[in-house]
Amino acid sequence: MGRREGDAEQRKAAILDAAEAEFTTHGYSGASIRAIARRAGVSSALLYWFFENKARLFAAVLTQRIAVPAGLAFPAEMLNIPPTIFLSGLAHLYTETIGNPEQVKLIRLILRESEREPDLINTLSETIVSRALSPMRNYLNHQMELGNLRRMNPDYAAQAFFGMFIAYILRRNILQEPLSQQMSTEQYVDAAVSIFLQGMVTEEGANVSIEQLPLDALAGIIPHEAKPLRQTHKIELEP
């Protein structure tokens, strides 16, 4: 990377950090481009060179705070990992990602400002939900084709899966509902995944064990890999 490119990346990072500080302190409506530029130590013109308007800048701040781990990037190797082995780790990883304190702070900001700035809800959807929905839809559709999952609309199935965890984080971390705060996140995620699998997994898919998969395909891919590697997820299906 050349010096100019390095300087540009540093300035962009400074702008994003300054923008996050201004947004969380003053709200979306109260934060000004001039104040963000001043905090970042750059001119307003340079800020506009990186981001065409405040909405784009806010979307970049939100996206930056979602550090997408390998598990949420859905590399090609994941498509063939059976859901009884893969989905538990994915669910824990997704819940940890959207439940990150910095992420929660920005979600609260969006909800607080959404009445005056309705487009912020679209920003929230695009950065938190949509980035995971499309690859999840492809994964579920592939598993249906393999016969491991029952046939249904994969878009609905993907939304149902992630919706269980978005709703939990909303109740626990955003609304700070006492009942959900008393719950164990790990136990809730395990229960939600179990319910999802009970409704989706076929008899063939329920009998797939970890020993049937090449371990090198699992290493570094399955989130919380220690858990599925220790045990085979046996789903008992009702007749």
Domains and CATH numbers, the chain: 3-63 (1.10.10.60), 70-230 (1.10.357.10)
Single-letter residue type at 139:
Y
Q: For all residues of the chain together, what is the average pLDDT?
A: 80
Query: Which of 6-10, 46-50, 72-76, 233-237 has maximum average pLDDT?
Result: 46-50
40-58 mean pLDDT: 92
Among 12-26, 125-139, 156-170, whose mean pLDDT is lowest?
125-139
222-231 mean pLDDT: 40
Distance between CA 108 and CA 24 in Å, rounded? 9
CA-based nearest residue to 150, from 195, 203, 104: 203
Cβ-contact 87, 197 below 8 angstroms: yes
CA-based nearest residue to 109, from 169, 18, 31: 31
173-177 mean pLDDT: 90
How much is the pLDDT for 51? 94
Cβ-contact 162, 133 below 8 angstroms: yes
How much is the pLDDT for 98? 82
Q: What pTM did the predictor assign? A: 0.71
Distance between CA 36 and CA 44 in Å, rounded? 8
- The sign of the torsion formed by the CA atoms of 204, 198, 163, 68 equals negative
Q: What are phi and psi of 115, to 5 degrees?
A: -65, -40
| Neighbouring residues of 170: CB distance < 8 A, sequence distance ≥ 6 | none
CA-based nearest residue to 185, from 122, 108, 98: 98
Residue 48 has pLDDT above 80, yes or no: yes
